[in-house]
Amino acid sequence: MTKPASTQEQELGQLRQDIDQIDQQIQSLINQRAACAQRVAEVKQVHQGSEDAVFYRPEREAQVLRRVMERNQGPLDDEEMARLFRELMSACLAHEQPMRIAFLGPQGTFTQAAALKHFGHSVISAPLGSIDEVFREVEAKSAHYGVVPIENSSEGMINHTLDSFRHSSLVISGEVEMRIHQNLLLKYGTDLSQVERIYSHSQSLAQCRSWLDNHMPHAERFAVSSNAEAARRVANQAGEDVGKVAAIAGIMAAELYELEVGHANIEDQPDNTTRFLIIGHSTVPASGQDKTSLLVLARNKPGALYHILEPFHRHGVSMTSIESRPSGHGAWGYVFYIDFEGHHSDAKVQQVLKDLDQDSVEVRLLGSYPQAVL
């Protein structure tokens, strides 16, 4: 039986008053938190000096977000609650020290989405044209941190990023994992059957290969520097290009360049995920759930790979990935990039590092950092 309108309005009116009171409490608590964060900044400046004070602590933020998810009782799910706290911490940190974050641009790339997912929307994001430029911007301290892609679950490692570590002193301070949904983007009013060319990053074209073969076999595919660049080209089409081009990119690019989603989620693998790295200057203390990345230049001798892998097995350290790249020093010399669970300060990890150092030309710690929380 439907309640009378007057009764319904009374109940809704009371609930709205409750919400208003809760909002007031939330707002008061947020400002209390911000004031506390400001006092933290003042203490750091007194004891560390204004120039050397470290405001962003990756391990601390990871611990806070994990606790948020552990104590959450709903009805909001754990990740949604953690995202709200992520933005709250981002705003409080910006009140202490606005951070400039370099990322592989232009605006609208998945890398920008990863940067905002990790740091929140209160940072100053700086798009750059290449992975090399991101490394240089951070090395020059023109940006506090940089965000670069490192691997995709269906297409493998990003070799350009791996090679950049070979010649850089930067270290890894965090990681971000993002489910990647690719979309076919068109200028509003475009007839899909008239599309002759499709632009996207080479990785995205590869991730959508089967869909394109089945649905757009007549269209040529052109690789460009980024998905956002592909979207920009479609948005700025003119002359004979009008109505004949499309892009593959994410929703962020569609919104930024005001394009229509002709087909959504066209990636061949529904669990398509890309991992991004946060690069900076400072080493990160242990957070309790960490990952470590190494660069190992092996000796050119029989069984070289075995001698790299064996210490991990012997000391019970779980390796998560290994990738080889030419060393650039003589034919058939290789550098191995290794990710494994644990922090470099862990006793068993120390043993692995010691054994590797004795049997390799070079072992370089690229960083220990919190495992991705969101």
84-97 pLDDT, tens digit per residue, is 999 999 999 998 88
The number of distinct structural domains making up the chain is: 4
Q: Quick one: pLDDT band at residue 2, thresholds 50, 70, 90? A: low
Residue 20 is assigned to a structural domain of this protein:
no
Residue 12 is assigned to a structural domain of this protein:
no
Q: In the chain, pLDDT over 90 holds for what percent of residues? A: 75
Task: Give the Cα-Cα-Cα angle 277, 294, 368 (nearest 5 degrees).
Answer: 55
Residue 39 is assigned to a structural domain of this protein:
yes
Verify that 173 and 187 share a domain, yes or no. no
Residues 6+ apart with CB under 8 A from 329: 297
What are the tokens at 87?
A: 């933005």
Q: Which of 94, 121, 149 lies at the terminal end of a domain, its last residue?
A: 94
Residue 70 is assigned to a structural domain of this protein:
yes
Domain of residue 238, CATH code: 3.40.190.10
Verify that 221 and 202 share a domain, yes or no. yes
Verify that 54 and 40 share a domain, yes or no. yes
Q: Quick one: pLDDT band at residue 48, thresholds 50, 70, 90? A: confident
Domain of residue 356, CATH code: 3.30.70.260
pLDDT at 241: 74
Domain that holds residue 124: 98-180+273-279
Average pLDDT over residues 33-50: 85
pLDDT at 52: 63
Residue 249 is assigned to a structural domain of this protein:
yes
Q: Which residues of 121-144 are buried (b: 16+ CB within 10 A; e: fewer)?
A: ebbebbbbeebbbbbbbbeeeebb
Residue 302 is assigned to a structural domain of this protein:
yes
For residue 238, the tally of other CB atoms under 10 A from its CB is 6
Verify that 37 and 89 share a domain, yes or no. yes
Name the nearest CA neighbour of 130 among 224, 212, 221, 207.
224
Q: Which of 58, 78, 94 lies at the terminal end of a domain, its last residue?
A: 94
- Is residue 1's pLDDT more than 60? no
Residue 14 is assigned to a structural domain of this protein:
no
CA distance 181 to 225: 18
pLDDT at 301: 79
pLDDT at 232: 93
Residue 15 is assigned to a structural domain of this protein:
no
Verify that 88 and 120 share a domain, yes or no. no
Verify that 235 and 291 share a domain, yes or no. no
Check: CB of residue 286 under 8 Å from CB of residue 345.
yes
Mean pLDDT of the chain: 92
